[in-house]
Amino acid sequence: MIDPAILLPYILACVLFSVVPGPSVSVVVANSLAGGTRAGLLTILGTEIAMLVMVTIVALGLDVVMNVVAEAFVIIKFVGAAYLIWIGWKMFSASGQLDFKAADKLPVWRYLRQGAVVNLSNPKTLLFLGAFLPQFVDTSRPAFGQIMILGLIVMAVATASDCVYAVLAGQARQVLTAARVKLMSRVSGAILMAGGVWLAFQKRA
């Protein structure tokens, strides 16, 4: 259904889109440092569930959806910004002590929720997908199936990229001293809070 001639440039564009760290990558790294690779992978699952929802929205009706999002942009933006700042502050103010056993017992839904909420509360992701995916659609054929396939490809690339971040951060926590963990928590928390502030001041596209 997808023209093979566009697959390579499309995948390269997806790689560029995925490797640049954003709010979702920051949450994946922070959770991997605190709870290990498992926590990071569960967070990724949450972000990809949210991504699938957004791809489906784009596929079902781009013009209608973009108008709805445009009207709700301010509300979504500030909810997402507040959530990022809240998570960031919790990390920034953490003691730096990592209880590996306790972290392994944390409920799955906590990581899924964080990943999904951070992705869904960033309207720029939906706006980007709405502008990016249609560029590779053959207008002579039905768009829904094409957009879903293109969306699954970008999800696969993003998942692979995020898994690298999760594994590296999850392994790094094993060799970190308490002082270094506290420093990393503060750095991760500061990045998330800065991301929340940045998101709050983004103008509507």
182, part of any domain:
no
Structural domain boundaries, residue 121 = 4-72+98-177
Percentage of residues in the chain having pLDDT higher than 90: 12
142, part of any domain:
yes
Q: How many domains does the chain have?
A: 1
38, part of any domain:
yes
Would you give per-residue pLDDT tens digits along the chain (205 residues)? 666 777 887 888 788 777 666 778 878 887 887 788 888 899 999 999 999 998 998 888 755 554 555 555 466 567 666 766 777 787 677 655 544 444 455 677 888 998 898 888 776 677 677 767 777 777 677 778 888 898 999 999 999 989 998 998 888 776 655 555 566 667 767 776 776 677 667 654 4
138, part of any domain:
yes
Q: Using a cut of 0.75, tell me whether the model's pTM lies above it.
A: no
190, part of any domain:
no
Question: By C-alpha distance, which of 15, 3, 5 is closest to 153?
Answer: 15
Question: By C-alpha distance, which of 58, 50, 201, 59 is closest to 127?
Answer: 58
Give 136-162 pLDDT, tens digit per residue: 777 677 778 888 898 999 999 999 989
User: Which amino acid is present at 98?
Assistant: L
User: Which amino acid is present at 82?
Assistant: A
* Residues 171-180: b if buried by 16+ CB within 10 A, e if exposed: eebeebeeee
Question: By C-alpha distance, which of 22, 37, 175, 18 is closest to 111?
Answer: 37
Instruction: Report the alpha-carbon distance of residue 168 to residue 162 in Å, rounded.
Output: 10
Burial class (CB in 10 A: 0-12, 13-18, 19+), 102: exposed
Contact 172, 154 (CB under 8 A): no
